[in-house]
Amino acid sequence: MIRLFLSFYLMLFLMVFTHQLIGDFASENWIRDMIVKDKTDDHIGLFYLIEQLQQNLDQQSFEKVIENYPQSSNVPIKLLENKGFYTLTNKSTFDENNILIANPFMNLAFYKLKNADAIIRVGPTKTYQPLLEISEVYERSIYYIIGVWAFMWLINLQRKLNKLNKAAIQLGDGNLATKVSEKAIDKIGSLNKSFNLMALRIKSLIIGNKDLTNAVAHELRTPLARIRFQLDLMYEETNEQLRKEYIHGVSDDIEELSELVDEILTYARLDRENTTISKSLNSLDICIKKVIKARLFDNRHKLYYDDKWCQENPALQSLNFDLKNIERAIGNLLSNAEKHAKNQIRISVEQSKNKCIIYIDDDGKGIAKKDRENVFIPFKRLDDSRTRTTGGYGLGMAIVKQIIQLHGGEVYVERAPIGGARFVIRLPID
């Protein structure tokens, strides 16, 4: 609104300034000269007659004629001594006809008698002057111009606001595809762009929430169904050993539900726009080793982690990141690699300019190019090698992406040198 007001005020100022500038220029360089010439022509005949009277009458008679000049005349005449004569403007001079228009806007003129040391003053008169009236009309017209311009400007603003209001009503009625024009003729500063970004964000949130709700309902249905089925069997079962197995099955399903709820809550927390992370200086090497130690890898998987990069890149030994969240991200990627690797998992770190790059490779089947972006979509299922049979809820990779993005980095999938999938984390070095 401040920018809108400044825009309006600037336009108003420029208009008044330009109007005044044109008026002053015309008055000083064009209108004034025309008025002076016009006044000279008005009085030249009168001064000729006065000159003839002065030449044909003696001084006393001439002065008496001037003294008896009618006082009610709109063109008063007075005889002045030439000594000490001055006008309102010191720059004015008598022309070749001995006439001086001292103040054209007050109709004040002087005539220097040729054969006498005296000056005749004529005016100030009260005769009608069309040019002066035009000048006054022009000066007053600025207020009408400003009023018309302001009215048109407000009408245009009202039109734009009406379009925004209509779009807001449509968006409120559930039309998520609503947009407003961002053309110069329709936009109000950056408001139109902000409205479209807001509409896009609302659409994304609503669609995301619907998808998340549907996915959560789908994920919860299976363990709940298993719990209900096992409880029914347990009530009817008389064999104590089988009853214990059903109880353990229910316990496992409850644990699965607990893990799912924890994943959902973590994803929802990280998905909020106002989510903040607490960065501090930490050792990336110690962080990776801590994550590895916390995970129990089975005998058929070998994990290779070469920490020689610590000596080769001392700058990477102490980085600014949120320790808890980075541990979770790396842990999720290691758990994913363990599910799909055949024999080995490799972790490596390197530096590229101002980026710290972490590679996590497995020798599994890998991920097709067309599916690599889908890996980070919550609850998104890929091919049969990466479905529920391998565990997980489809939220692990989505959480990894959120964590890395909150750190100003990026995560993506490539083909691993050992044949499977390579997850690449690129973190900025502050």
Per-residue pLDDT tens over the stretch 267-291: 777 766 566 788 899 988 999 999 9
State the CB neighbour count (10 A cutoff) for residue 350.
13
For residue 98, the cross-strand partners are none
Pick from 256, 200, 191: nearest CA to 7? 191
String of b and e for 112-123 (b: at least 16 CB within 10 Å)?
bbeebebbbbbb
345 three-state secondary structure: strand
Rounded to an integer, what distance in angstroms lies between the CA atom of residue 370 and that of residue 272? 28
For residue 110, the cross-strand partners are 100, 121
State the CB neighbour count (10 A cutoff) for residue 345.
26
Q: Where are the beta strands (DSSP E) in 135-196?
A: none
Question: How far separated are the first and last CA of the chain, in Å rounded?
Answer: 37
Which pLDDT score is estimated for 373?
86
Which pLDDT score is estimated for 329?
92
Structure tokens at 318: 């102490």
Which pLDDT score is estimated for 409?
92
CATH 1.10.287.130 fits 191-271, yes or no: yes
Q: Where are the beta strands (DSSP E) in 89-173?
A: 99-103, 108-112, 118-122
Do 310 and 268 meet the contact criterion of CB atoms below 8 Å apart? no
Rounded to an integer, what distance in angstroms lies between the CA atom of residue 424 and that of residue 430? 19
Query: Tokens 């007001």 sit at which residue?
Result: 5
Rounded to an integer, what distance in angstroms lies between the CA atom of residue 336 and that of residue 333? 5
Which pLDDT score is estimated for 413?
93
State the CB neighbour count (10 A cutoff) for residue 82.
11
Pick from 4, 379, 40, 371: nearest CA to 218? 379
- Domain range annotation of the chain: 2-127, 191-271, 280-428
166 residue type, one letter: K
Q: What is the DSSP string of 389-400?
A: GG---S-HHHHH
Which pLDDT score is estimated for 207?
77
Rounded to an integer, what distance in angstroms lies between the CA atom of residue 397 and that of residue 427? 16
Rounded to an integer, what distance in angstroms lies between the CA atom of residue 195 and that of residue 314? 47
- CATH H superfamily, domain 280-428: Histidine kinase-like ATPase, C-terminal domain (3.30.565.10)
Which pLDDT score is estimated for 393?
60
String of b and e for 304-314 (b: at least 16 CB within 10 Å)?
eeeeebeeeee
Structure tokens at 239: 């064999």
State the CB neighbour count (10 A cutoff) for residue 216.
18
Residues of the chain with pLDDT under 70: 1-6, 8-9, 26-32, 83-92, 103-106, 126-132, 218, 271-275, 296-299, 315, 379-394
